[in-house]
Each structure stands twice: as structure tokens, then as C-alpha cells.
Structure 1
Amino acid sequence: MPLPRWLAQINKRVFNPREIRRGVRPVLIHVGRSSGRIYRTPLDAHPLPDGYLFIPMYGPRADWVRNVLRAGTARLSIGGEEMRLVSPRMVRKKDVWSLLPEGTSGPKGVAEEAELLRMDLRPEG
């Protein structure tokens, strides 16, 4: 079950900027659907053999998810290195969780039918 929207607004304005300044978590860099503005969203990025998996804790209609789906691309910053991600698509947890490294634990309460965002790495160059 997605977290409430009011919590998303608090995170967006208060906690996300703090997390980005700390520089500890992966940050998804994406473009706003209508504003064209660049946004930075700290997220857990679960590595897959060919890309990354993201868990939209506020559901598949969260702003950052909709931005990435509309743009078709985003950048991911991990440890000061940026990589380009392409081909965003919603997938069911039950269909992709087995691709993650063994022992990967997800947030509690994320159902097997939950929609997650999967993106592929695009080689630079």
C-alpha cells in the first residue's frame, strides 16, 4: 500500500534536500513533465544485471515516476558517478525481485503485486 501523499510533500520539501546534501543515497535526476525543470530525488536503487529497480513508496503515480516515464530517460548518481538510464517501465515485484542480488530486502509492506520502476543502463559514448 502506498504511503500517503501528505508525507510525500513533507519528504520532497524537508527530508529529500537533507538526504541529497548528505550524499549517502543514490539520487535519481529527472526532468519535470510540464516544467522542464531538473529534479533530484534520493531513492534506493536496487542493481539488476542490466540496470536498476526503484520502489515507488508513494505508488506508481508519484511525480518522479511519472516524470521518468514521460521523459523515457533519467540519470542516476551513486557515489559521485552518474549513469544514464533508459527504457523506464513499470513491472510487478513478483516478476523481477528474483533478479536482485540474493539477500536483498525490500521495504516492509511492499506486496508481490506492487508496481516497481525498472530502467536499463545505457552505455556512455
Structure 2
Amino acid sequence: MPTLPTRSARNVVRTFNKHVLNPVMLLLAGRRHWYATAIRHTGRTTGTVRTTPVVAERVPDGFLTPLPYGTDVDWLRNVVASGEATITVGGRSFDVVNPQIIGADVAAEQLTPRRRRAFARFGVEHFVKFSLATDSEAHHGN
């Protein structure tokens, strides 16, 4: 569990990213040859469709998304409440369902050694695991 100074530093970074970096990242998120993924989700109280840049790793039965800022982030609360989202990665969109928060130890079994080391270096303790809504890609333009 992160110490209080670590948690405070992460909150400062999270706030900066949310208001400054994320709007810039959204210009490229989900496109081919870019590391960031775009996750489209619906606000749990407003019903507004929102898009947030995240990292998502394709695994055989869905996607894994690291949670570097923990489990108390708006986009994750929205996705858990609705049970669905759309992930755009590499220019392709996928409808995903059944978001489950899992520990890094469980996620590690599904990640390449390189990704496992990278996420561990950043202190990622939790991931959200998504299942594909169907066996085929969603038909969203991007």
C-alpha cells in the first residue's frame, strides 16, 4: 500500500493529467502506432459519453488496463457502474464488458515479461480486466 506522501504525489499527478495532459493525449489515443488507448464510457450520473486515454494490453480473452492511480478514478467508476465500454487501440475499436478489478499478481500471468516489469516499476498494484462483448471487433469508426 502506498504511503501518504506517495499517495499525495500520485493525486497531484493524476489531477495534472486529468486537466492538462489527457486532453492532449486524446488527440492520439487509440490511433495506430501510439501506445495510449482510448476508452469510451458513459458517466454514471450525467449519462454523458466520455473518452479517457489509458493503456490497455490485449490478452487472449479481452484487455487488461493498469490502474497506476488506483481504483478510485472516475472513468473506472463509470465503467464498473455500466458494466461496459469501448476500447480503441491501434485504430480498431472493441466493445468490452464485465470489468473486474484484479491484483497485479493475477494480471502478471497474462502479461509479457517486459510489460510485467514495466508496470511493476511504476508501482501498479491493480488492473481492470475486460472481456470482449463478442468474439469479433465492434464496428465503430476510427
> TM-score scaled by structure 1?
0.86
Partners of 1:106 and 1:55 in 2: how far apart?
Answer: 11
User: Cα offset for 1:78?
Assistant: 1.2
Q: Secondary structure at the match of 2:114?
A: coil
> Between the two proteins, what is the percent identity of the paired residues?
25
The structural deviation recorded for 1:40 is: 1.0
Does the Cα contact within 8 Å between 1:47 and 1:100 map onto a contact in 2? no
Q: Does the aligned pair in 1 maintain the 2:68–2:122 contact within 8 Å?
A: no
Q: Does 1:74 align with 2:85?
A: yes
Aligned length: 123
- Residue number among 94, 103, 109 corresponding to 2:114 in the alignment: 103
Instruction: Pick the structure with greater CA Rg.
Output: 2
Structure 1 residue runs of 5 or longer lacking an equivalent are none
CA–CA distance in structure 2, aligned partners of residues 19 and 109 of structure 1: 19
Post-superposition offset of 1:33: 1.1
- The question of whether the paired residues in 1 share the 8 Å contact of 2:101 and 2:129 is answered with yes
Does the CA contact (< 8 Å) of 2:79 and 2:99 recur in 1?
yes
After TM superposition, the runs of 4+ consecutive aligned structure 1 residues lying more than 3 A away are none
- Of residues 44-53 and 19-28 in structure 1, the stretch that sits farther from structure 2 once superposed is 19-28
Question: What's the counterpart of residue 44 of structure 2?
Answer: 33
